[in-house]
Structure 1
């Protein structure tokens, strides 16, 4: 992990971020989406202050994390949904955990008390990562949507901040 650092995402990272996203989608267990959005669509859907990338020692983006609001209602201003993706060639080096830890610090500094996510149950690596990062399973949405012609369940995860009261 010594050769990996986390920094804010910038528009210069768009090509790598979207390529990593697409690689995750192509693997089949990351999202109901099948095609990464345009940068404009990605940019419009994510909160500016909580977009981070992991870069290797050569400065290449190897992973990213970002959040979206869960609702535009004021009462949910402290609740976000996150996504975290790592280049398949960089997995197992700790980048995803570094990204989640940095995201927790960023969101807590902004007064966000809950980070949520939905993960396919087959994505056991992501479920284990989230558990190690302090997320807990709050439920399973059974047969919530069709993906590649079959019904898929989604495990709902959340991390409640112990410092935001």
Structure 2
């Protein structure tokens, strides 16, 4: 399978939201219960730090996008990201390619930290993030309720070795 990384644009909206909803439905990807509209998604994600992985036919395999963690100037170089892979494309390196693209774009923009909160049950995501250079910061215990159940979230970060 050929994996091509491209900017995530509106042309992928329906596929992005479908992959997002599939991740939501599985129960270990996010506290969200429904995917946002494209307008909400588009407004929340930084336009220079969102990418689509597509196959040779242009079909979406997965996506990654970043948001600011704070408007405070001290956190100008810190983003939080989400990465989702189509169920049929898992185990093929898609998330690794997307994380590499995000690291490249954020470092070029002077962003020194990428963080992510991952449910501890999502072992595949934890493993791909570790391979991409993310380190464990800690576990936020019982940080939120998800379908009536308190859930922990593992906080990971990748500090740029280039931007110190």
- TM-score class, shorter-chain normalisation, is over 0.9
Structure 1 runs not aligned, ≥5 long: none
Q: How far apart, in 2, do the equivalents of 1:10 and 1:67 lie?
A: 14
Shift of 1:74: 1.1
The aligned runs of 1:46-125 (5 Å cut-off) are 46-125=45-124
Relative to the length of structure 2, the TM-score reads: 0.99
Q: What's the counterpart of residue 138 of structure 1? A: 137
Relative to the length of structure 1, the TM-score reads: 0.98
Q: How far apart, in 1, do the equivalents of 2:132 and 2:155 lie?
A: 15
Q: What's the counterpart of residue 26 of structure 1? A: 25
Q: What's the counterpart of residue 6 of structure 1? A: 5
Q: How far apart, in 2, do the equivalents of 1:92 and 1:56 lie?
A: 14
Q: What's the counterpart of residue 151 of structure 2? A: 152
Q: How far apart, in 1, do the equivalents of 2:60 and 2:47 lie?
A: 18
Shift of 1:9: 0.7
Structure 1 segments of 4+ aligned residues over 6 angstroms from their partners: none
CA RMSD of aligned residues (A): 0.7
Q: How far apart, in 2, do the equivalents of 1:140 and 1:57 lie?
A: 39
Q: How far apart, in 1, do the equivalents of 2:101 and 2:50 lie?
A: 10
Q: How far apart, in 2, do the equivalents of 1:124 and 1:149 lie?
A: 22
Q: What's the counterpart of residue 36 of structure 2? A: 37
SS in 1 for 2:144: strand
Q: How far apart, in 2, do the equivalents of 1:148 and 1:89 lie?
A: 26
Q: What's the counterpart of residue 16 of structure 2? A: 17
